[in-house]
Structure 1
Amino acid sequence: MTTLTTTPHDLSQRARPKLSLAVALGAALVLTGCAAISVSAPEATSTTDAATDTTAQPATLAPGQVIGTGAFASADGDTTGVLTISAATGTEGFGGTEGFATDEGYFTMRLTDFTSDEPGPLTLLLGPPSVTADTECFDSGRRFSAGEVSTEPTQDFVLGDETGDPSHFGNAVLTRPNVPGDTECLASVAAVAPLVWTLPDLRSGLDPTDAGSRTHAAGTVALTDGVPTSYGVAPDDALEVIAERFGVTVDDIFYLNPGRSPNPRDPVVYAGETLNLDRARR
Structure 2
Amino acid sequence: MPHSSSFPAATTSTPPPPGTSATRPSSSCRRTARMRRRADGTRPPRCSTSRRGADSFASMHQFGRLAAAALACLTTLSLAACSFTLGPRDKAVAKGTSATPSAPSEPVTAPPRIETPPPGTLLASGVLTDGAGAELSTVTITQVDAHHATTALALDGYEPAIHSLYGSPESPAVGDCLPGGLNLGLGSPGSGDLPFATELGSGDPSFIRTILLIRTPNASETEAAAAAGCLHRVIAVAPLMWHTAEQRTDLHPVDAGSTNGARGTTESADGTVQSYTVAKNDTMSGIAQRFGITGADIRYLNPARISTCGDMACAGEVLNLDRARR
Q: TM-score, normalised by structure 1?
A: 0.67
Question: How many residues get paired?
Answer: 217
Structure 2: distance between partners of 1:206 and 1:161: 18
1:171 is displaced (CA, Å) by 1.0
Confirm or deny that 1:72 pairs with 2:113: no
User: Residue 117 of structure 2 aligns with which residue?
Assistant: 62
Structure 1: distance between partners of 2:193 and 2:287: 43
Distance change (3 Å), C-alpha of 1:156 and 1:259: closer
Distance change (3 Å), C-alpha of 1:116 and 1:139: farther
Assess if the C-alpha contact under 8 Å between 1:232 and 1:273 holds in 2.
Answer: yes
Structure 2, unaligned runs of 5 or more: 1-101
1:142 to 182, 189, 195: 182
User: Residue 191 of structure 1 aligns with which residue?
Assistant: 236
Distance change (3 Å), C-alpha of 1:141 and 1:267: closer
Confirm or deny that 1:233 pairs with 2:266: no
Q: SS state of the match for residue 244, structure 1?
A: helix
Q: Which amino acid aligns with 1:181?
A: E
2:142 to 77, 82, 86: 86
State the Cα deviation string for residues 228-275 of structure 1 (Å, max 9, x = none). 211111111110121111111111100101222238x93111011111
Confirm or deny that 1:180 pairs with 2:235: no
User: Residue 315 of structure 2 aligns with which residue?
Assistant: 271
Q: TM-score, normalised by structure 2?
A: 0.59
Q: Which amino acid aligns with 2:104?
A: A
1:79 is displaced (CA, Å) by 7.6
User: Residue 30 of structure 1 aligns with which residue?
Assistant: none
Confirm or deny that 1:165 pairs with 2:204: yes
Structure 1: distance between partners of 2:186 and 2:148: 11
Q: Which has the higher helix share?
A: 2
User: Residue 112 of structure 1 aligns with which residue?
Assistant: 153
Distance change (3 Å), C-alpha of 1:194 and 1:109: same
Assess if the C-alpha contact under 8 Å between 1:55 and 1:248 holds in 2.
Answer: no
Assess if the C-alpha contact under 8 Å between 1:71 and 1:83 holds in 2.
Answer: yes
Q: Which amino acid aligns with 1:274?
A: V
Distance change (3 Å), C-alpha of 1:140 and 1:43: same
Assess if the C-alpha contact under 8 Å between 1:126 and 1:145 holds in 2.
Answer: yes
1:186 is displaced (CA, Å) by 1.2
Structure 2: distance between partners of 1:77 and 1:241: 48
Identity %: 32
1:139 is displaced (CA, Å) by 6.0
Q: Which amino acid aligns with 2:128?
A: F
Structure 2: distance between partners of 1:206 and 1:139: 28
Distance change (3 Å), C-alpha of 1:77 and 1:224: closer
Q: SS state of the match for residue 182, structure 1?
A: helix
Q: Which has the higher strand share?
A: 1
Q: SS state of the match for residue 70, structure 1?
A: strand
Q: SS state of the match for residue 235, structure 1?
A: coil
Report 1 or 2 for greater relative contact order, CA contacts < 8 Å, sequence distance ≥ 6: 1
State the Cα deviation string for residues 207-234 of structure 1 (Å, max 9, x = none). 0111222111121122212322111111
